[in-house]
């Protein structure tokens, strides 16, 4: 009996030890598999993150490039820039003057008539202006002989006294003089100089500008319009004018 009891106890202890050993063996054998599975999952995730293209793409702008601004003429663009920077000025006036021709075959008689003038320019500084001026002197009423003088000039105007509206004015251009008695016409055209003095009186939004102008030409050919022949090669025009103009400055 004691032998049988000891055998049963030993058998039970052996069985319990075998069970624990089997459980430990299974746990040890499963650990690498789990670690391998986890590493495989991590590697797959990393590979997917590396190979998956970005979900967003750069936006392509298919719109055509903006068209360049239209090119203006060089002189027009320069005038526009100068006007925006410095300002414009101009005047329109009427006056009375005496004009005549001086040459070997001319009557050398000056006659008096009305004249018209117009000026447009740019203010370089408040006291120095540049521009262009044109005038026409018309002795066409009565007398039987029509006389017409015309001229176009590039001019510069200066206000030499600070705070004063007195100005001096000079120009260089071309002048012409025509004589027509109804049967024969003569004309001359030559370089010309212009000099003037004047004053600006403020009158509301404009200026009332009286001026005195002297013009002389350097001398040119006096041609017959009927034959085209030159009557003389040294016909000089002289012109003296007093005028009253409306002037504006921007």
| Residue bearing the bigger pLDDT, 112 or 3 | 112
Inside any domain, residue 42: no
Task: For residues 29 and 108, state if they share a domain.
Answer: no
- CATH number of the domain enclosing 223: 2.40.160.20
Task: For residues 30 and 126, state if they share a domain.
Answer: no
Task: For residues 164 and 225, state if they share a domain.
Answer: yes
Q: Pull the structure tokens for residue 53.
A: 């293209």
What gap in Å lies between CA 124 and CA 112, rounded to an integer? 36
pTM (predicted TM-score): 0.63
Inside any domain, residue 143: yes
The predicted pLDDT at position 205 comes to 84
Task: For residues 101 and 169, state if they share a domain.
Answer: yes
φ/ψ of residue 111, rounded to 5? -120, 160
**Token pair 């262009």 in the structure block, residue:** 132
Tell me which residue of 116, 117, 113 sits closest to 97, measured CA to CA: 113
Confidence of residue 67 (pLDDT cuts 50, 70, 90): low
Inside any domain, residue 52: no
Task: For residues 241 and 147, state if they share a domain.
Answer: yes
Inside any domain, residue 62: no
For residue 135, what are the domain limits?
86-249
Instruction: Please count the other Cβ atoms lying within 10 Å of the Cβ belonging to residue 228.
Output: 7
The predicted pLDDT at position 98 comes to 94
Q: Considering the chain, what is the average pLDDT of its residues? A: 78
Lowest mean pLDDT among 18-22, 80-84, 194-198: 18-22
Q: What is the pLDDT of residues 13-63, one digit of tens each?
A: 555 555 455 444 444 444 444 444 444 444 444 444 444 444 444 445 565
CA–chain centroid gap for 18, Å, is 104
Number of domains in the chain: 2
**Token pair 């404009």 in the structure block, residue:** 206
Confidence of residue 9 (pLDDT cuts 50, 70, 90): very low
Q: Pull the structure tokens for residue 194.
A: 């212009």
What gap in Å lies between CA 1 and CA 195, rounded to an integer? 158
3-state class of 11 per DSSP? helix
Q: Is 204 left (phi over 0), alpha (psi -120 to 50) or beta?
A: left
3-state class of 111 per DSSP? strand
| Residue bearing the bigger pLDDT, 124 or 15 | 124
Instruction: Please count the other Cβ atoms lying within 10 Å of the Cβ belonging to residue 8.
Output: 10
Lowest mean pLDDT among 32-46, 196-210, 223-237: 32-46
Inside any domain, residue 9: yes
Residue 75, CB-side half-sphere exposure with 13 Å CA sphere: 0
Mean pLDDT for 82-91 is: 78
Inside any domain, residue 189: yes
Tell me which residue of 148, 118, 134 sits closest to 237, measured CA to CA: 148
């Amino acid at each position: 009996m004691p032998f049988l009891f000891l055998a049963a106890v030993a058998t039970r202890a052996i069985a319990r030890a075998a069970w624990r050993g089997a459980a430990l063996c299974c746990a040890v054998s499963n650990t690498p598999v789990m670690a391998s599975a986890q590493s495989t999952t991590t590697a797959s995730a990393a590979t997917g993150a590396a190979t998956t293209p970005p979900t967003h793409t750069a936006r392509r702008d298919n719109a055509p490039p903006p068209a360049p601004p239209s090119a203006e003429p060089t002189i027009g663009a320069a005038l526009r820039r100068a006007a925006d920077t410095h300002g414009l000025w101009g005047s329109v006036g009427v006056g009375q003057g005496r004009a005549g021709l001086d040459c070997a075959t001319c009557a050398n008689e000056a006659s008096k008539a009305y004249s018209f003038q117009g000026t447009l320019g740019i203010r370089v500084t408040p006291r120095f202006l540049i521009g262009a001026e044109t005038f026409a002197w018309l002795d066409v009423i009565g007398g039987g002989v029509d006389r017409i003088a015309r001229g176009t000039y590039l001019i510069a105007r200066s206000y030499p006294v600070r705070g004063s509206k007195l100005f001096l004015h000079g120009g260089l251009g071309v002048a012409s003089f025509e004589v027509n008695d109804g049967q024969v016409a003569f004309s001359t055209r030559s370089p010309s100089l212009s000099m003037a003095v004047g004053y600006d009186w403020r009158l509301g939004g404009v200026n009332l500008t009286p001026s005195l102008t002297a013009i002389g030409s350097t001398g040119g050919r006096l041609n017959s319009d009927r034959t085209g022949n030159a009557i003389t090669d040294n016909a000089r025009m002289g012109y003296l004018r007093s005028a009253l103009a409306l002037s504006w400055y921007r």
